[in-house]
A and B are shown apart, each in its own frame.
Chain A
Amino acid sequence: MSHFFWQGCLHPLLVPAHLLVLLALGLLLGQQTPSTIRTSLVVYVAGLGSALFLTRVLPRMEQSELSLLILALSLGLLVILKLRINLALIVTLSISASLLIGLDSRVSALPGLDASKIYLQLLGIAFSASLLLSLLALISFYLNKLLAGIAVRIIGAWVTAGSLMVLALLLHELIS
């Protein structure tokens, strides 16, 4: 049974758009105060859990990659600007990330796949996506103390650049 849990754990690592949002949010959280980081993480975990549960009842999300890329782009720009963001905005961004990632992490109900196995996979996703964000926020927090946070801002620029180009490609494909 643990096999299903581990499969869930790998999911956020195999979806580039999820990984990009987690990286950008982790970098942004690392630029904030410890109390803001803690609050945001709690809100994120709660949002992710709810969204994963909702995948069992809600229909598939349309254009999820587009929404995830817009969020990654916004987060990347905020990382480059290195602003101290107020709590309400950072909580909103954390909730948005958790809902988008959660709702986009649907486990297809294949014939013969028990509900318990599906929930175990969803638990794996919640565990790894939360652990990953916490680790990234922690690394970013300490990286910000080195060389005035240059590395964090440079990684933020990479995230922004990658998101912008793929976003343009998706929009171009949608329009044409």
Chain B
Amino acid sequence: MHNRYKKLGWIIALFVFMQSAAWAHTGAGAIGGFMSGFTHPLYGWDHVAAMVAVGILGAFLGRPAIWLLPVVFPVVMAFGGVLGILGISLPGIEPGIAISSIVLGSLIVLAVHPPLWVAAVLVAGFAIFHGYAHGAELPNAANPLAYSAGFVICTGLLHLLGIAIGELIRWPWGKTVARTVGGVIALAGFGFLTGVL
């Protein structure tokens, strides 16, 4: 079985390296751009904390928030990204990102259940700050489309991680775990805001 996978791996590698330059698109930079975009959110803990918090909050609030919040976030984040690309100045980006961790983490640790529209507006508001920070860096990417696909997918996976943590509330111990993670996110937010972290 192991040998079969090894053989398949070699065949795939062979096809990848067999690329000639007879294409209108060579694919050059696409993989690098994707990886660079994918790893970008992981380098900023302030981003990671907020993305995970959105997922946990969605799971805490149940349906339809569980899918609505992770849908609202990337779409509005893209609008923030557009502002960054266009170079429209937006004050308080870094504090806004830090405050997103504090507010979302606090809602989770205190088990606050805001109405759906309030949660959606909050998430959308914070998404603007996160998107702006990413969008401002997009024009420098070697392959902007691959870069944006990478970081949007990474963002979504962080939301899914948050949803998975939030889903633990089905068990009594899980509720404690999820709220503790929310507390850690809120505290980290204070750390980002004050410059300690």
Contacts and interface: CB of A to CB of B under 8 A. Distances in A.
A155 interface: yes
A166 to B, nearest CB: 5
Contact of A80 (B63, B75, B81): B75
Given A165-B135, A169-B139, A113 B22 contact: yes
Contacts of B148: 161-162, 165-166
B90 to A, nearest CB: 15
B143 interface: yes
Contacts, number: 126
B145 A80 contact: no
B19 A7 contact: yes
A85 to B, nearest CB: 19
Chain B contact surface mostly: helix
B30 A15 contact: yes
A158 B152 contact: yes
A15 B160 CA distance: 26
A14 B18 contact: no
The interface size bin for chain B is: 35 or more
Contact of A153 (B67, B77, B79): B67
Given A3-B18, A154-B71, A161-B77, A105 B149 contact: no
B144 A60 contact: no
Contacts of A155: 156
Interface string A137-171: 00000000001101001111110111011101100
Given A161-B148, A165-B131, 12 more contacts: A3-B18, A14-B23, A80-B75, A105-B24, A108-B22, A113-B22, A121-B22, A148-B63, A157-B71, A161-B74, A165-B82, A165-B135
Interface of B: 15-16, 18-27, 30, 33-34, 63, 66-67, 70-75, 77-79, 81-82, 85-86, 131, 134-135, 138-139, 143-146, 148-149, 152-153, 155-156, 159-160
8 contacts: A3-B18, A7-B19, A16-B149, A157-B71, A157-B156, A158-B153, A161-B81, A162-B78
Interface of A: 3, 6-7, 9-11, 14-17, 20, 60, 65, 69, 80, 104-108, 110, 113, 121, 147-148, 150, 153-158, 160-162, 164-166, 168-169, 172
